[in-house]
Every structure is written in C-alpha cells, then in structure tokens.
Structure 1
Amino acid sequence: MINAIIMASGLSKRMGDNKLLLDFKGIPMIEYAFIEINKCYFNEVIVVSQYEEILSLSKRYKFKGVYNKDAYIGQSESIKLGILNSSKCDGYMFFVGDQPFIESFYINKIIDKFNEDKNYIIIPMCGNKKGNPVIFPYNKKNELLTLKDDEKGKKIINKSSKLKYINVSENMLIDIDNKVDYEKFRGVLR
C-alpha cells in the first residue's frame, strides 16, 4: 500500500502568481496531476497546501486536504504534514503540482518497481535527468520527519545506498518553474 502526497504549498516566487492555479489548456495546472493520480491505485491521496482553492479542488477528487499554515518554512513542512496526516502504508509517493505532463502509466511503473522490494527509494529518470514523483519506503519516515526549512527528499536520497531508478518519458519530468516555462509548454499538445 502506497500513499500519495501532493505537495502544493509553494510560494511561486519565480512565477509571481500561484502557478498551480494558472490556466493550462483550460484547467488549473495542478489538476493534471490530480487527474493522473486519480487513475492509479493509492491507499490514500493527501494534498498539502496553503491555498484554499487547491484544497477545495482536491475535495472534488475525494483526496484528503491538509492545510499548511507554515508554508513559508519551506518544502520540509509539506513533507512532514503529508506524512503526519497519512494512514499506515508501505511507502510515500511524493508529487509536486507543477508537472502537467505527468502520466498514470509511468506512475504505475514506479509503483510496480517499488512493490518488487519495499526497502528501496524509487526515482524516475530519463537519460541523466532525475525528477519526481519519488517513492520513499516507510523505513525512511523518521528521516523525512527530520528535514528542516527548504530541505527536500534529495538530502535523504544522497545518503542512501538503497536506490532504484525507473525510466520514464522526457515529458514526465517537465516541471513549470517560471513564466518562460509556462509560455513555452502551455502551447504543447498533451
């Protein structure tokens, strides 16, 4: 059993606006992640956000919304809130909301790889590029809970010898970080 944790509390400093709610081909950008995650089997899906609009949208998908009042602390706060509001599971699959080309096909491949041995961190990659979503096994829970400020799961990945990689499409790893990315990719057909 894997729980999905969607981290949607970012301050969008590089974008200027809340990028997750920007229109991306007719729907809010984050909804692409919701649609694809909803096609996969998860024990539970948790959305961590400081934005009421995102939490409200997550209810339409019957996801569990968790309000992040301390988003200013950094990504570690979303990670912790996701874990602390998670039911018992074998692993946590962490998603970011700014990947509108994410695909359920590859999400399921990552899950299948994790299910082969639930002691490994599973990381998607294409060529030399690695990205999200990443699955952390339950045995990494305490390490994840010690992250501070804007520390990310990468800190734990860099210390771990139990890593497995799964090949995904190049599009799967595209994230929208700024206005240039947004303008470039919203014209791309899905």
Structure 2
Amino acid sequence: MPRIGAIILAAGLSRRMGEAKQFLPVNGKPLFRHAVDRAIVNGLSPVLLIGGEHVERLRQLTGDEPRVEVLVNPSYATGMASSLRTGIEAAAGRVDAALVFLADQPYVPNEVVQALIRTYEENWKRGIRIVRPVYGEAAGHPVLFDASLFGELARVAGDRGGKEVVEKYKAQTQNVPFSCARWNLDIDTPEEYRQLQQAIRHRPE
C-alpha cells in the first residue's frame, strides 16, 4: 500500500471575506477542521496543516489531534504556491503521494477521498501520477500528486498552486467524476458564508 499524506492549505489572507475565514464556525467547528478531520478519518499520514499569519491559532485548535503537524509559511502573503511548497518540502521522503486540500471546502466527503486514493492505486502502474475530482463540470480539490512530481511542485510560484503542474502532465492525470457540484463549494465572501449557514439550517434531517 502506498504511503499517502495530506497537505492542507490554510494560510490564505481571506481578502474577500474581510476576516480569517478558516476559523469561521461551520457545523460546530472551525471551517478548516473539516479538511483536517477528513484527512485523519481516511488514514492519511502525515497531516500537514500550513498556516501563515494565524499559525498559533491553528495550533491551538488542533491541539486535541497529535497527528496534525502545523507548519508556518513565512511567505504566505505571496500566494497559495508558497504554502504548497511548504507542505511539499515537509512531505518529501515521507510519502509516496500527497492529497492537497483547501481549508475552505467543508463539503468534501469521505467518498471523494477514498475514490481518489483507489484510482491512484489502481492506475499507478500505467503511469497515472495525478488524480483529481471533477464535480459536475468543474475540476476541484483535493488533488492527489505522486511524489515523483514533488520537485516540480516545489518550484511553482504565485497563486496558481499546482495548476501548472496538472496542465503540464495532462497525459498522466486521471479525472474522477462526481455528480454533486455542491461538494466543490468553497467559502470566499461573507455572502457565500451566509448562504452556507442558511443551507445548513434548512437542511432536512
């Protein structure tokens, strides 16, 4: 069985939200904890949580979970790529692949994580090195990267994350389709957060 870790990007500046969105309460816990708990429940190891300005608060809110390693990205203001590099450098040599999660996507279910891992295991021998979910018509997260691509991921810059690596290795990428576009929802603005809270309140039991 391959060793698969998790890299959770939680160092964003939340400019459109106007406050640190990773700590907004969603279903009784901070927004970022949904990705953390998803990684833990599915046995990913290590679980690398990348923070920036609020790294100490991230540590406080994961103090109950010793499997989480909170890492500081001193260059967080330069964009997502620097946080990805921080995680990749910490994962290198410890895993065969890593799933990259966004801290502002609370709806990604176990079903997605398990399908991505299964697809990777079943298709690695035929050259698949990236596995990503497609929700309806839109590609999303988490994205699984084989460790052979870590060197290239560590060289990305700006706010594009691993997109340019995915584009470069399209032939080695396997998309996994899911019909539920809601699973790809991320929370960027106060209005999106209000809509999320309203949907939770009105969700049938």
Alignment TM-score, normalising by the size of structure 1: 0.93
| Structure 2 residue identity aligned to 1:78 | S
**Residues 135-154 of structure 1 mapped to structure 2, 5 A cutoff:** 135-154=144-163
Match of 1:175 in 2: 186
| Structure 2 residue identity aligned to 1:165 | N
**Residues 22-41 of structure 1 mapped to structure 2, 5 A cutoff:** 22-41=24-43
- Highest Rg: 1 or 2? 2
What residue ranges of structure 2 are gaps of 5+ in the alignment? none
Task: Give secondary structure in 1 for the equivalent of 2:84.
Answer: helix
2:153 and 2:59 mapped to 1: Cα distance?
A: 23
Indicate which of 179, 187, 190 corresponds to 2:198.
187
The structural deviation recorded for 1:31 is 1.5
- Deviation string 1:48-76 (CA, Å, 9 cap, x unpaired) is 10111113223322201101222112111
| Structure 2 residue identity aligned to 1:59 | G
Match of 1:92 in 2: 98
2:101 and 2:63 mapped to 1: Cα distance?
A: 17
Match of 1:166 in 2: 176
Match of 2:47 in 1: 45
What residue ranges of structure 1 are gaps of 5+ in the alignment? none
The structural deviation recorded for 1:102 is 1.6
Give the fraction of aligned pairs with identical amino acids, expressed as a percent.
Answer: 26
The structural deviation recorded for 1:159 is 1.2
1:64 maps to 2:69? yes
Contact kept, 8 Å, 1:38 with 1:61, in 2: the verdict is no
Contact kept, 8 Å, 2:36 with 2:47, in 1: the verdict is no
1:73 and 1:48 mapped to 2: Cα distance?
A: 14
1:78 maps to 2:88? no
